[in-house]
Amino acid sequence: MLDGRWAPGHLNELSAQECWDLLATHEVGRVGFCDGRGAVMLPVNYTVHDRSVLFRTSPDGLLGQHLRWGYAAFEVDEFDDYTQSGWSVLVRGPSRAADPGELPETDEARPVPWAAGDRSLVLRVTPDQVTGRRVMPS
């Protein structure tokens, strides 16, 4: 039955399960952290594992410096310019260097960066908050 939640342009909150289902459909998300001035956001390739988000980065890079032991935001979204609709999911939580013994067993479940270079540090974000929203087609 149509109600206000399906009205054009209405912003629906997603359930945690919907958020996890959507996170599993993508390969690229954006990691956010705070430096002395404000937020920084950088795209990464990721996988979802045990209700956490895994990505690889350089031990010496910005993400490695701030998120080997830090607090991360992670965002994935998809939008359609034509119907002016889409969804976004935001994950927030502590970020730590992943224990090699706790990584997924299969290669395809492990994150593989598109970008070349030394990206030997695997970081795991374990969410304490998972939220998402969907904007309905107008």
Q: Which of 5, 13, 15, 43 binds a copy of itself (CB under 8 A)?
A: 43
Q: Which of 1, 2, 3, 39 binds a copy of itself (CB under 8 A)?
A: 39
Q: What share of the chain is helix, strand, coil (3-state, %, to 5)?
A: 15, 45, 35
β-pairing, 28-34 vs 11-13, is unpaired
Please give the Cα distance from 22 to 89 (Å, whole number). 8
For a copy of itself (CB under 8 A), the number of binding residues is: 38
Interaction between residue 30 and a copy of itself (CB under 8 A): yes
Token pair for 65: 């410096």
Whose Cβ is closer to a copy of itself: residue 71's or residue 100's? 71
Whose Cβ is closer to a copy of itself: residue 21's or residue 58's? 58
Q: Which of 94, 79, 73 is nearest to 29 (CA)?
A: 73
Q: Which of 5, 34, 59, 69 binds a copy of itself (CB under 8 A)?
A: 34
End-to-end alpha-carbon separation of the chain, Å? Answer: 18
Torsion of CA 99, 27, 60, 100, to 10 degrees: 10
For the segment 66-125, give every residue that binds a copy of itself (CB under 8 A). 70-73, 75, 77, 79, 81, 84-86, 88, 90, 92, 114-117
Q: Which of 7, 24, 51, 118 binds a copy of itself (CB under 8 A)?
A: 7
Please give the Cα distance from 18 to 116 (Å, whole number). 32
| Residue ranges that bind a copy of itself, judged by CB under 8 A | 7-11, 27-28, 30, 32-34, 37-43, 70-73, 75, 77, 79, 81, 84-86, 88, 90, 92, 114-117, 135, 138
